[in-house]
Structure 1
Amino acid sequence: MEAAIKINSEASKWEIRQKVWDYIEAKNLANFPRPVHNRIPNFKGADHACAHVSNLEIFHRTNEVKVDPDKPLEGARLAVLQAGKTLLVPTPRLRTGLLNKIVPPQGASRQDLRMCSTSQGVKEYSVPIGLDAKITVDLVVVGSVAVSEKGYRIGKGEGYSDMEYAMMASVGAVEDPVVVSIVHDCQVMDIPENLIESHDLAVDYILTPTRVIETKCIHPKPRGIIWAKLDTDMLEKIPILKKLRSLERRAGKDVTLGAGGVGWKRSRGGAGQGGERGPRPRAEALRAGGDRHCVPGRHPLGAPRQRAEEHSEGARSRAAEAKLAGGTAQGLPGLQRRAGRGGRPAGPGGPVRKREECTGRAGQDSEGWQEKKRPARTATEPRRRERKPGLRLAPLRKHAPPPVCCRCFAVMTHRKGRG
């Protein structure tokens, strides 16, 4: 079957993801949530594709199945629960642990099982499983953005599926399981082999709404965590990695971290090895030999800022005094008023606003504003509005709309005539 999306042999992982997401959106092939960018697409027909899981031979031979919590895999989670098998779901972003066991309520009906297979049900009916738990996972179901008939897989760019499999391999939860990916037919394409690395998870079966593809992939699956591809930032992001690293260090394994964290350290947008967005200012500055936090037009992160000579001891106090006296703070650009909309020029001789003398509303300046103070009204002094014979003063109402004439709809003044 000819691929719906053509991929250039020199395309990066990020470009492949963008093509798939754009194609699915353009052809309206996805259900909620939309848009599908930066997600595992919840494609139309996902339930039909998930129905093929129960037809696999490995499905009848296994008791424990690990299924990712993505929306299009909801039908696969339901099939596992209906078959009475143990459903294992990874902890979202591996914040508190590795796997969770979904335990439906006693005497659960089909509707209850369907609820347990949803994202809300995963939160309500999940029980954490420790790293020392004796489990054997023979079937792993993952979501993908793109797959190839050779078994190569590209996720959404965060690397969690690869990391979860490597962590399960490290604790002995998997030996040689069958990995299944459920996608739309348009997500099956030719992926360049040079994009696949040692930590990438390959798939054995591809399930689409119309096909069941056995890949017979020869790319080896990860046998554990490749610590050289991680750095301290990733350990802080996923605390459970610290515990795994401690266990492997005691076992005498090499747990030396890499300097740059290539491989698994990826951002949500797909940054990282194989997922570059293109040249960026920070990357250009880094390649030029500059500080990694210093890009053109930006102060280096963590470096002490040099105080200018004009900002020496007492300069700000002198500038404040000059401002109150009606002058301008020369030599202090930060204290001068910029010329622009709603402001006045701050050059020599330009007017300087005094908050205590302003008679207009806050934030409203005018070119014709003059410095004058209105004397404070005493308690016995009447209101500063002239009373004319034959007119009465309407009571003041705060924030009341102005009265409108019932005949001409003209806005009337606040004075009303008698009779």
Structure 2
Amino acid sequence: MAGPARPLPALPSKWDIREKVWEYLEASGLAEFPRPVRGRIPNFKGSLQACSSLGELDVFSRAREVKVDPDKPLEGARLAALQARKTLLVPTPRLRTGLFNRIVPPPGASKEILRRCATSQGVKDYSVPVGLDGKAQVDLVVVGSVAVSEKGWRIGKGEGYADMEYAMMVSMGAVREDTPVVTIVHDCQVLDIAEELLGDHDLTVDYILTPTRTIQTNCKRPKPQGIMWHKVSSEMLGKIPILRTLRSRERQAGKDVTLQDEHPALANTNRAAISDEKATAANSHVESDPVNPKSQGSATTTTVYVGNLPGSLRVSELKSALRELQVIPVGLKWQGAQHRAFLDYSDRGTAHRAVSSLQGLSLGGNALRAELARSQRSRGQGEISRHK
């Protein structure tokens, strides 16, 4: 008679994979400036060699306009585009001031000037902004990755900017369905990644360049077909001005542009929660005051306690994990010094999903503890002190 079935081991999460790559690059001596590589698209020994393979790709030879991300390990790819006299577009960091800058070397630029143009400082010194109406037509996209599989599944650093850039290019008509996507990584960053970890907003890649290999993924998974507004938070919209412009245009075109945390009955509550989150991130005494009436949720709020947060973890990393797990709270009380956070949810079902998703999740090398708060904020007493 067969014994009880053993539970299947949990798949490593995207954060588990990121941590594994960052840790290995540092421990093996492969990490290059800027250090530490944790939290970044990592630079690595051999990045220039990997980038040099870009010129051997037919898709590069045919391309007239190439978009390359601003990450340090892609510096060689930006140089290759400039040396080949391609039009080089580089996204503005974190999309703060627009979407693209076009790099314009001075007339008769020497090899040394082109090398400078390919650096982050050169991008600032030799570029002009390209607006939404700049008629960009990108023939090749080059992105950085933390990890990638031979099937083309890609994992970035967790903030979603590469995925968002691509979705915005689709909305602008700057890329087509068959526009190839290349990523450039170290060989150790090519890993098995379960397709179940991918969302429909995740960008896949068609070519992987490493210091020793060129991999054509033959990926058939569809790339994002535009901005998925239901996955965009009010926080991200607030940070990216060009995203607000695109949303206005798509609303006028009759598209549904309802945000992830928007709901007619909760719109004012969510706006207040976002403002409260920004305030509490800057004022730790407000976060840790369990009887401050301003810090109490409504009677319908369900609060999740998250403990064992590593001291090095940033609130942005926890937010990124929550976005990936699709359990974004309406409010977040961050208490990094106490290695904990409290997440407020407007419905109990989402709170339970958050507990299931976060319990045991590895962030920064720590397995998180997650549970429903023993006393809900709506009762106005003692929730935080019970978790000391």
Do they superpose with TM above 0.5?
yes
SS at match of 1:272: helix
Whose Rg is larger?
1
Aligned to 2:383: 296
The residue identity in structure 2 corresponding to 1:225 is: I
Calculate percent identity across the aligned residue pairs.
Answer: 63
**Aligned-partner Cα distance in 1 for 2:198–2:160:** 13
1:337-356 matches, cutoff 5 A:
none
Aligned to 2:54: 53
Aligned to 1:26: 27
1:117-266 matches, cutoff 5 A:
117-175=118-176, 176-259=178-261
* Residue 271 (1) aligns with residue 321 (2): yes
Aligned to 2:3: none
1:272-351 matches, cutoff 5 A:
272-274=322-324, 281-283=341-343, 288=372, 290-291=376-377, 296-297=383-384
**Aligned-partner Cα distance in 1 for 2:122–2:161:** 21
Aligned to 1:72: 73
SS at match of 2:108: coil
Determine if contact 1:89/1:100 at 8 Å carries over to the other structure: yes
Query: Aligned-pair distance for 1:297?
Result: 2.5
Determine if contact 1:282/1:295 at 8 Å carries over to the other structure: no
Determine if contact 1:87/1:101 at 8 Å carries over to the other structure: yes
Tell me: CA distance 1:247–1:47, structure 2 relative to 1, closer, same or farther (3 Å): same
Tell me: CA distance 1:120–1:38, structure 2 relative to 1, closer, same or farther (3 Å): same
Query: Aligned-pair distance for 1:150?
Result: 0.6
The residue identity in structure 2 corresponding to 1:233 is: E
Tell me: CA distance 1:64–1:295, structure 2 relative to 1, closer, same or farther (3 Å): farther
Q: Which runs of 5+ in 2 are unaligned?
A: 1-8, 264-273, 275-314, 327-338, 346-350, 353-371
Cα deviation code 1:63-94 (max 9, x no counterpart): 00000000000000000000001000001111
**Aligned-partner Cα distance in 1 for 2:244–2:254:** 15
SS at match of 2:316: coil
The residue identity in structure 2 corresponding to 1:199 is: H
Query: Aligned-pair distance for 1:275?
Result: 6.4
Over the aligned positions, Cα root-mean-square deviation in angstroms equals 2.6
**Aligned-partner Cα distance in 1 for 2:381–2:154:** 35
Aligned to 2:12: 11
**Aligned-partner Cα distance in 1 for 2:15–2:377:** 26
Determine if contact 2:154/2:205 at 8 Å carries over to the other structure: yes
SS at match of 1:123: helix
**Aligned-partner Cα distance in 2 for 1:9–1:103:** 49
**Aligned-partner Cα distance in 2 for 1:294–1:128:** 52
**Aligned-partner Cα distance in 2 for 1:131–1:35:** 35
**Aligned-partner Cα distance in 2 for 1:166–1:294:** 44
Query: Aligned-pair distance for 1:295?
Result: 8.9
Tell me: CA distance 1:142–1:132, structure 2 relative to 1, closer, same or farther (3 Å): same
Determine if contact 1:157/1:275 at 8 Å carries over to the other structure: no
Tell me: CA distance 1:231–1:107, structure 2 relative to 1, closer, same or farther (3 Å): same
Determine if contact 2:180/2:205 at 8 Å carries over to the other structure: yes
**Aligned-partner Cα distance in 2 for 1:13–1:59:** 30
Tell me: CA distance 1:17–1:275, structure 2 relative to 1, closer, same or farther (3 Å): farther
Query: Aligned-pair distance for 1:209?
Result: 0.2
Tell me: CA distance 1:260–1:188, structure 2 relative to 1, closer, same or farther (3 Å): farther
SS at match of 1:282: strand
Aligned to 1:85: 86
Query: Aligned-pair distance for 1:274?
Result: 3.5
Tell me: CA distance 1:228–1:274, structure 2 relative to 1, closer, same or farther (3 Å): closer
**Aligned-partner Cα distance in 2 for 1:39–1:139:** 23
**Aligned-partner Cα distance in 1 for 2:41–2:381:** 34
Q: Which runs of 5+ in 1 are unaligned?
A: 1-7, 299-419
**Aligned-partner Cα distance in 2 for 1:28–1:122:** 28
**Aligned-partner Cα distance in 1 for 2:207–2:158:** 21
TM (norm. structure 1) is: 0.64
The residue identity in structure 2 corresponding to 1:186 is: C
Aligned to 2:283: none
Query: Aligned-pair distance for 1:258?
Result: 1.7
Determine if contact 2:141/2:181 at 8 Å carries over to the other structure: yes
Determine if contact 1:13/1:275 at 8 Å carries over to the other structure: no
The residue identity in structure 2 corresponding to 1:271 is: A
**Aligned-partner Cα distance in 1 for 2:102–2:84:** 15
Determine if contact 1:100/1:128 at 8 Å carries over to the other structure: yes
Query: Aligned-pair distance for 1:135?
Result: 1.7
